[in-house]
Structures are given as structure tokens and as C-alpha cells.
Chains A and B, each alone.
Chain A
């Protein structure tokens, strides 16, 4: 067995502290790779994770960059809010930029409630130490006697899972550490903070929607998410979370009246949002309190203007909560429209007639969507 060399005066400066080998994978440099994204196997579109891996599966691998997913809120806005937080937390972990807009709560409150990511053991770079004298290396307790070749490698520490993974797991019972959260760049939009400028031209949208659209466009152009922007080596994704659009707090009377005055304000906003998304590297999650909207045709238009749509029906407070068959399920996500994967459409296995999807919570720590048939009312006879 070779003894460690006594003169370790010169540290291996030419070798990168990370790699043990000099092998580097040859990548086709044509496709820019953005952390936290991967190309779809079906049509080569760039996908990002929604934060809930089972929802990614339902969407065909993830959310395509440049698209919107509409979440029709459940009655108490519990699970739709949770999906929104998962989406934002995934953005923090993947080091994407965030844009949060909410009218009911301050966006900062939403950002403080993000679920904590489940940590991975990953080697992180330790700061390069001064080269020690050989005698110190001998005498120091840290000196390895057997595996001395690994002396200079970084120690393994618990850290954030590497951003090259797609989809992470979260612990809902804990909130994200402030240090992790503050590492991500967040843009906020809170309607009461924005002074309403009197628009010179008559607009078909209430002030808050116009201001939100304008703010989104500004952020996209300023931070370089525009597809037309000059290609630099580092591109990033902007994750947009819009909470409870259409509710009265946005200045929209869609949920208040049967014949709203600005009946098409939300659809016009969604059209503008679609225009912004298609021309930038961003993804949006929009939640809408659809249970308050009476006009089914309008709801259909809203759904059609988004690329994906799911509706959540919570069992809380309904007769299903007390029904013992449903005791393991908390809510029911229904695809309110078959997802539209583009370019050439291939329908997913999620037509309306399919078995209902149950949302199962192992002991209150994580969110996942599982495909289950609805519980049978008559017990299946056991094998004799």
C-alpha cells in the first residue's frame, strides 16, 4: 500500500475541486439548458415541474414553458393555494425567478408560507483552504491515512437538492427556511400598493388587470425573459403565480353579479397574459374562484383561453367528508378540460368519463395526486 507522500507542498491546483476525473460530457451546445427544465419526450417542448410530481405526470411530464395552467379553486381555497405554493417553492429550489400577484393577501405572506423542500445529501464546494505544511497534514486529526487520495475532496453536507433534478418533494408541515427563500428573486404585485393611474383611453379591463399586465410586461422585458432578447449563456424561467383572479378584490364584478358589467375583463386579461407568455420564457399558474362564477359559458371561455385546466373539489364540509369511504381522500381534482399538448394534439388518458382522481395525504406532510377509482359502495367479496 502506497504511503502518503511526505511532500504535499503543492496542492493540486490544476484539478477542479469537484471532479475526480477530467471527463466532461459532450453536450450539443445548440440547446440552451436552463436549470429545472427538461424537454418533453412527446414533442420536444421545454417543461418545468409544477412542484407536485404527480400533477406533472397528469400534465404529460410537466408544464410547458410559455403556457398557463388554470386551477379552479375549491370552496375554501385550501388546495388551490397549496398547489400555488408548491409551484413557487419549486421555483425557489430550481433558482427560477418568481412573480407573485395576489389581491386578498399580501404576496409576501404567500411567500412566507412556502413548504420546505426535502433535503438531499449532496457534495458542496468548500472554500479552498490554504495549502498546509506537510507536517501539519500528518498531525491533523483530519488527515486520512487510508483513503488519502480523497483528502482534498469536499465533505458531504446536507444541502439543497441539486437543481439539475426535475421535480422535488416538499414537507408541508414545515415552512421554507428564510435563507433559501431569499436566495430567489421575487417580484410582487399587490393591487392596493399600485397607485391607480387614470388611463387616458377607455379600457375594457378594470385598472388592476391593466396594471398587472403592464407590470408583467415590464418585468419580462427588464429581466430578459423575452424570447427576442439577445441570447446570453444564462437564461432563466419566470414563474408567475396569480392568485384568485376574477374575485371581487381585483375590482372585477364577475363573481358578484349574474350579468357583470365587465363580463369579459378576465378573458381579455387572459388573452393578454397568453400573448406575454408565448413570447417569453415564463410559466403561469392562475387560480380562479370558479364556484362563484354563475355564467357557465363564460367559465368555458376562461378555460379555453388557458392551456391546461384542473378543477379542485374539496370534500371538507360536504357530505363526503363524513362518508367513511372517502376518509383517506381530501379533495378531488378534476380535469375541467382535456389538456392540450401542442403541436399535434394527442389526447391524454384523462377524459371526463375516467375514474375520479383522489388526492391522498399520507400523514399530512405531502401533496400528491393518485389515480384511484371512486370508492365502491358495496364491499368486494374476499376470495373464499
Chain B
């Protein structure tokens, strides 16, 4: 949890807006540091967190969260964190053993054309079975609203799933978690190409996914490198965009920040106010 980002977004573990769909995106950069922020924020806020870690191992997230002061292993033991380790599950799908008959969340690896129904079923069944915020029976700990984190959606495109299937998946997740259960959803999408694409659209899938998700979400954080190139003291820029849905219309508010990644956190500052410059 990065304190400066909390003040920018006006959130803290004690109060945050519910029913939000946060979209993290990057272009030729790496926005995964934002996933760690939201993970530690919601764990500290005593929410029940479902984390679909599709690109890295559990130890990776655990090591970084340790630096931010949150223990994932402990949260998992207490039942606060439900972690789907995509890499681990994928091996049983890609190298099928004869004895494996259970339906798998990563089943789309075997046949991407089928879509992400099994993955959504995994999310839905575990989210609704835990009661989604209701007080557990038999003295089970009561957690806050449910939060779903996905790292990341672009790897699903790399593995052959169609853009439509991923958009459907995100829509279903949003309907279940945000609308039905008043929880939050945070998803990460990564793009490669330039902003202005050629007509034939090399990276069409990724761009379409980004556009479709931007339309659905209520808050986006877009990470990019600096337009002037590499800088040792400023690692990039983050554009925060609030898409508030007021009664009479919708207005968007955008703000631009620059950031630097440290060993134990990330500092955000207004453009031009980097500590190296002042």
C-alpha cells in the first residue's frame, strides 16, 4: 500500500468506495506494482480477497507483500485470501495425467475456443459460497466486502482466448462482485503497441480489450514510460482517470502523476516535482 497513492485516490483501509471496478493498464511498461498496492490495501482493510495470479507464482507476490508489510501466507491461512495460482494449475492441464478428472479453472488452456466459463465458475462459486460479506457461522471471522483482483488479463489473450470471451468474463465478474455483492474488482491489462495503430491493427486484440474495459470501469490507472525516454529518477507516469456516474450524466476527471519505484514502496509526485529535480 503506497501512502501517496492512497491520498491521490482518496482511499485508505478504513474507507473506500464500494462497487468499484478499477482498471490498471500499461503501455510498453509494467503496471504490476499497482496490483501489489491494491492487494495490500484491501488485505489491510480486512476485506475478503480473491486473487487470480495468472502470471507469477505465489512466492513472488508473497515476497513483495512482505516488503509492504502484509503476509499473504497468514492471510491465506486465516481464510481472508483465496489465491488461484495459475501457473501451478496450468501444469495439470497442459500435461494431463490419467487420474485428473476434476473440472479445472484453467481448463481453457486445453482449448481456448471454449472461453473462460470454467474460470468464471471458479470465481462465482467461491465468492458466493463464502457468503460474500455475511457473517460466517460458527465463529468464523467476519470479513469486509469481497474484492477480486486479476493479474493479468492480457496473458489470457496470449494463450489464445478471444477478446470477446475476456470481455464477457470481466462483465460477469463485475456483475457478480460489484453489483450483486457490493465488492470491488481490480484488473490489469497490458498493451504493447503505440497509441495510434495502423489500420490493419497488429495489436488489435489488446487494444480492443483495453477500450472495452475502459468503458466498463469506474477508475483507470494507466502507466506509461516517460515520453522523453529513460530516466533514472523517474520511472514513468501514471494517468488516473475517474469516471463518475452521476445522476445527470457522467463526467471524467483526469490527473497525471510521475512515479519512482523504491525498494519498499513507490513514490508519486506531480510532474516536474521529482526529488531529484527540486
- Give A contacts to B, CB under 8 Å: 199, 201-205, 210, 213-214, 217, 263-264, 267-268, 271-272, 274-276, 278-279, 295-297, 300-302, 304-305, 340, 342-347, 349, 351, 353-354
Contact = CB atoms under 8 A, between A and B. Distances in A.
Nearest to A264: B160
B94 A344 contact: no
B270 interface: no
B158 A301 contact: yes
Contacts of A295: 202
Contacts of B60: 278, 342-343
Contacts of A297: 192-193, 202-206
B261 A345 contact: yes
A182 to B, nearest CB: 31
Nearest to A340: B30
Contact of A305 (B59, B95, B155): B155
**Most chain A C-beta atoms within 10 Å of own C-beta, residue among B111, B158, B190, B225:** B158
Interface stretch (B72-80, B85-93, B122-130, B245-253): B85-93
A104 B164 CA distance: 38
A346 B205 contact: no
Given A274-B87, A278-B87, A296-B202, A345 B112 contact: no
Contact of A201 (B87, B96, B235): B96
Contacts of B157: 301
B67 interface: yes
A214 to B, nearest CB: 5
A372 B141 CA distance: 60
A217 B96 CA distance: 12
Contact of A344 (B67, B109, B158, B203): B67
Contact of B230 (A272, A304, A353): A353
B229 interface: yes
A271 B95 CA distance: 12
Nearest to A214: B95
Contact of B64 (A267, A301, A343): A343
Contact of B232 (A305, A342, A349): A349
Nearest to B228: A353
B83 interface: no
A344 B91 contact: no
A353 B229 CA distance: 7
B273 interface: no
Interface in B57-76: 57, 59-60, 63-64, 67
Contacts of B229: 351, 353
A344 B265 CA distance: 8
Contact of B159 (A271, A275, A279): A271
Interface string B94-112: 1110000000000001111
Nearest to B63: A343
B202 to A, nearest CB: 5
Interface in B212-242: 225, 229-230, 232, 235
B159 A278 contact: no
Nearest to A350: B230
B49 to A, nearest CB: 19
B91 A217 contact: yes
Interface residues of B, number: 44
Contacts of A201: 96, 110
B211 interface: no
B182 interface: no
**Most chain B C-beta atoms within 10 Å of own C-beta, residue among A271, A276, A278, A351:** A271
Given A304-B154, A343-B63, A344-B261, 7 more contacts: A202-B111, A203-B110, A217-B95, A342-B60, A345-B32, A346-B261, A347-B235
Given A297-B193, A300-B192, A349-B230, A267 B33 contact: no
A354 B230 contact: yes
24 contacts: A204-B109, A204-B110, A205-B94, A264-B112, A264-B158, A264-B159, A267-B159, A268-B159, A271-B109, A271-B159, A275-B88, A275-B94, A278-B56, A278-B87, A279-B87, A297-B203, A301-B154, A305-B155, A343-B64, A345-B32, A345-B33, A347-B230, A349-B232, A353-B230
Contacts of A217: 91, 95
A344 B230 contact: no
B263 interface: yes
Contacts of B264: 344
Contact of B160 (A268, A275, A343): A268
A278 B57 CA distance: 7
A83 B202 CA distance: 31
**Most chain B C-beta atoms within 10 Å of own C-beta, residue among A199, A214, A345:** A345
**Most chain B C-beta atoms within 10 Å of own C-beta, residue among A217, A267, A344:** A344
Given A267-B158, A268-B109, A351-B229, A344 B262 contact: yes
Contacts of A340: 30
A278 B112 CA distance: 23
Contacts of A354: 230
A218 to B, nearest CB: 9
**Most chain B C-beta atoms within 10 Å of own C-beta, residue among A217, A278, A349:** A278
Contacts of B230: 347, 349, 351, 353-354
Interface in B1-40: 30, 32-33
Contact of A272 (B91, B205, B206): B91
Given A210-B95, A279-B57, A353-B230, A305 B158 contact: yes
